[in-house]
Amino acid sequence: MSELADGVRVDTSTFEAAMNQFIALKKLTLAEGLRLQAGLLADELVRDTPPQAGTVTGKSYGARKAGEARVSRDIRRAVRPLDPRQWTSDSMAELIRSKNVEALQTAFSRFSPLRILPFSPGLHQEARSSEGAVEKDKGRATPDMAEHVAYVKRMKARVGLAKGGWAASQKALGRRVQNWLTAHLRYGRLIDHTDRPEPSLTMENDAHWAGSRLADITVRKAMTRREGRMRRWIEGALAAQARKAGLA
């Protein structure tokens, strides 16, 4: 059983059994086998950890841009900014510029159900689901456009943080790291004890996301896939040995 940050626990017994058999058939030292499979597992973890490439508001993006687009979308769902430049009514535009929330609420109540609020990061944080997304529009707006824009910018800078936590192990194990993740390598580390009598490797991810239910699912998924690939290789290697021995 392995434990990640914030109590995410993963049963690694079948993975370790497959790895030991792989190492024996491959004729590697335990240290060599650990480093090889840990590097491949780190690749899987980075691949499976959000953000992933996808379509956001009708547009297709790579992983980084998709993550940034989801951040912008979710914050806007939590509370949309009021831009005075978008209003043809001079009096309404001026009211937005004044940031008089009470007067704005009175004006909006004549034609819209929107709740007008001063901007606060808490409006976004409280609207997020257990998996971090804002699922639907909360019907709120703020005249604090500059603060809203600055917050979106700060949150976009965090996109890839959880991937970066695993990418730190990728780098330490000589795997290729995507350039955009290098800013987040500080959120993870590899503890390498392969030079000890009982070799071990520990991949740590200190990103807050790493303690979520989604992180648990992601780690299990990555380990299951890597174990499956090892077992398929093992089956092929055993079959080849049987043919060579005239047993198949």
| The pLDDT of residue 131 | 78
Q: Has residue 196 been placed in a domain?
A: yes
119/188 same-domain check: no
Tell me which of 121, 138, 156 is where a domain ends.
156
Q: Has residue 232 been placed in a domain?
A: yes
66/145 same-domain check: yes
Half-sphere exposure of 11 (CA within 13 A, CB side): 2
CB under 8 A, 24+ apart: contacts of 178-184: 178/46, 180/64, 181/46, 184/160
76/137 same-domain check: yes
How many independent structural domains does the chain possess? 2
Name the residue with tokens 């093992």: 234
For the record, the structure tokens of 227 come out as 């174990």
Q: What is the pTM of this model?
A: 0.85
* Gap between the Cα atoms of 140 and 85, Å rounded: 19
102/127 same-domain check: yes
Q: Has residue 28 been placed in a domain?
A: yes
28 to 128, 142, 157, 203: CA distances (angstroms): 47, 61, 41, 21
111/43 same-domain check: no
Q: Per-residue confidence of the chain (248 residues) as pLDDT tens digits?
A: 444 544 455 678 899 999 999 999 999 999 999 999 999 999 999 999 999 999 999 999 999 999 999 999 999 999 999 999 999 999 999 999 999 999 999 999 999 999 999 999 999 999 998 778 999 999 999 999 999 999 999 999 999 999 999 999 999 999 999 999 999 999 999 999 999 999 999 999 988 765 577 788 888 999 999 999 999 999 999 999 999 888 76
| The pLDDT of residue 9 | 58
144/193 same-domain check: no
40/106 same-domain check: no
Domain that includes residue 176, residue range: 2-50+160-241
Tell me which of 124, 156, 188 is where a domain ends.
156
Tell me which of 126, 156, 186 is where a domain ends.
156
24/84 same-domain check: no
| The pLDDT of residue 10 | 64
45/63 same-domain check: no
| The pLDDT of residue 58 | 93
| The pLDDT of residue 214 | 77
45/167 same-domain check: yes
165/237 same-domain check: yes
Q: Has residue 246 been placed in a domain?
A: no
